[in-house]
Amino acid sequence: MDLNNIQKYLLKEIADITEVPQGAYNIRSDSQSIGRQSTENVEITPKEGVSGLDIFIKPNVKDETVHIPVVMTKSGLKEEVYNDFFIGDNAQVLIVAGCGIDNCGAHDSQHDGIHRFYVGKNAKVKYVEKHYGSGDGAGKRILNPVTEVYAEEGSTVEMEMVQIKGVDDTTRTTVAELKKGASMVVRERLMTHEEQQAFSVYTVNLNGKDANADIVSRGVARDNSFQKLDLKIVGNAECKGHTECDSIIMDNGKILAVPALEANDVDASLVHEAAIGKIAGEQLIKLMTLGLTEAEAEEQIINGFLR
């Protein structure tokens, strides 16, 4: 792959890629694949009739990796991409996605990525998705990820969803259907600043006995930015569900948390926790006594909170 400095920078930020990845990968830049590799256990094929990929992970394989990052460097570019993952029974795989947009022009750039996961029985999936924006143009950096999870019996899905800098508008939608004994863990980290807006919407259906979900979102809203978090867990069987919204508000930022728990079975156990507040004064004072300025102390606290 022949990458320019902007592409290299974005790939480092969203996927920690500094060289050609090991294992299977597809790297997309400005609506084109600039590098793709399948392996013995992972097959990546382009879709027909629509932009996107089908990724097949064989049953029973261990410690497989798939990298599918996207970068955009052209102002005014808008795309919609569909990627479907078919994870075989008993497979173990790490999937690293994410999108970085560098917009130095006057027109909005937008990437809408729809990822669907069909997770086989007793399979284990870790999914890392990072979003990042850069560039000094007046055009917006817009990202609208959709994640759908269909988890078979006994499977485990762990998701790390991160957006820390530079995305002007985003609507993040996650829908999951969990069968008997399936487990889903989500850790979302989100920071907005200036006039940015971020909407996160989760709907998780626990359909089988002993299905369980644990969703934790941490957010920081700075300047005049706005965040809204809709968290809904539906218990349709004997199951366990936990959601948590933990947010810091600064300057003129605004945060709206809308939790929802729906129990349709007498043995469904569902819990929600929420906390929104400013940085505690005693935390700032403690760090400032160690020689930090107030701004430096705030950054230290935020970095620790979003880790």
Q: How, if at all, do strands 124-134 and 156-165 pair?
A: parallel
pLDDT band at 273 (very low <50, low <70, confident <90, very high): very high
Residues 86-102, mean pLDDT to the nearest whole number: 97
For residue 274, give Cα distances in angstroms to 16, 234, 248: 31, 18, 11
Residues 225-249, mean pLDDT to the nearest whole number: 96
Ranking 47-51, 172-176, 180-184, 303-307 by mean pLDDT, the lowest is 303-307
The proportion of the chain whose per-residue pLDDT surpasses 70, expressed as a percent, equals: 100
Burial per residue of 137-153, b for 16 or more beta-carbon CB atoms within 10 angstroms, e otherwise? bebbbbbbbbbebbbbb
Q: What is the pLDDT of residues 155-204, one digit of tens each?
A: 999 999 999 899 999 999 999 999 999 999 999 999 999 999 999 999 99
Residue 248, pLDDT score? 94
Domain limits, the chain: 5-280
Residues 49-62, mean pLDDT to the nearest whole number: 97
pLDDT band at 280 (very low <50, low <70, confident <90, very high): confident
Q: What is the pLDDT of residues 11-23, one digit of tens each?
A: 999 999 988 888 9
Q: What is the pLDDT of residues 108-122, one digit of tens each?
A: 999 999 999 999 999
SS3 at position 281: helix
289 pLDDT higher than 90: no
Rounded to the nearest integer, the mean pLDDT of the chain is 95
Residue 92, pLDDT score? 98
Residue 283, pLDDT score? 80
261 pLDDT higher than 90: yes
Residue 20, pLDDT score? 87
1 pLDDT higher than 80: no
Residue 184, pLDDT score? 98
Burial class (CB in 10 A: 0-12, 13-18, 19+), 2: exposed
Query: How many angstroms separate the most distant Cα atoms in the chain?
Result: 61
pTM for this predicted structure: 0.94
- 131 closest CA partner among 188, 180, 58, 79: 188
Q: DSSP assignment of 44-62, as one string?
A: EEE-SSSSEEEEEE-TT--
SS3 at position 104: coil
3 pLDDT higher than 90: no
